[in-house]
Structure formats: structure tokens, C-alpha cells
Amino acid sequence: MPELLRSIAGRLRQYVSDRRQSPRFRVRLVATVSLFDLKAATPWSKPVAGHTRNVGEDGLELVLPAIRVGDRYLVGQDQALSIILKLPTGNARIYASPARYERLEEEQPDTGFLVGVRITGMDEKDRALFNEYLKSLGKR
């Protein structure tokens, strides 16, 4: 039942209003996602490979084949995620927190789960690389 409600909310967002503050660009980039231990400052799960559906200055939508790694949920409350995004000009490490997820229906081109994340941090080099990529998308 909760997945049905998430799905309905996602579809309403498409037609009613989108609360995002920064523009999102529909782009497919390879991404790997790991649970991140903030105290130890290290990833502590095997990475899950997926791709982006869209990217923006403050968040991403990821398509992942699973939302669990072992016995832990990637989308659990208070989870920290480490995301390596493969940009055309190099890799950027993004730290994020999950905001929402929904199971993708079989008739959609992608399968698995759609996971929306809020970007919580990046080092300066990765932020510059990411912002430069977003600027290039805005010029299209």
C-alpha cells in the first residue's frame, strides 16, 4: 500500500506542481550508490550500480535495481549515501540523503526503483565539476 501512495504522489507532482527550487535536467549518467558511515567517513556497503533519470543543483533522481544492500535499506530514514556520478569530464562524489522512492512499473522503460535524493555535500573540486556540467546542460 505505501508504494501505491508513493506512486500516486509522484504522478501528481508531474501534473500539479513541482516544489523543486532549482531546474532539473533529464540526463542518463552512470551512478554507483553506497551507504555511507558519517562517523567513520567511509562507505560501508557494496555499491549498487544504476543511472540518473535527472540531475539538478540540489538533487538527483536515480534508477536503481534494488533499494537494499544486505539487510540495510538505501532509502531508510537518516541514511547517508555516497554516490559516484560518472560525468563526461570525470567522476564526482556526491553525498546525499534519500528523499523518496517508488517502484517502477514493468511497462516503463526502466525497471527497479526510482530514488530521489537531496545533495547534502561535495568537496570543492567535485562541486565545481558538477556545476560546470549543469551549466553545459543549460546551454543546450
- Sign of the four-CA dihedral 139, 117, 36, 103: negative
Position 110 scores a pLDDT of: 78
Position 2 scores a pLDDT of: 60
Which fold does the domain 2-138 belong to in CATH?
Answer: Thrombin, subunit H (2.40.10)
Block means of pLDDT (10 residues each) for the chain, 140 residues, are 60 53 88 80 77 95 90 83 95 95 81 93 96 87
Position 8 scores a pLDDT of: 62
Position 133 scores a pLDDT of: 95
Global pTM? Answer: 0.79
**CA-to-CA distance for 118 and 96, rounded, in angstroms?**
5
Q: How far is CA 74 from CA 39, 60, 107, in A?
A: 17, 15, 24
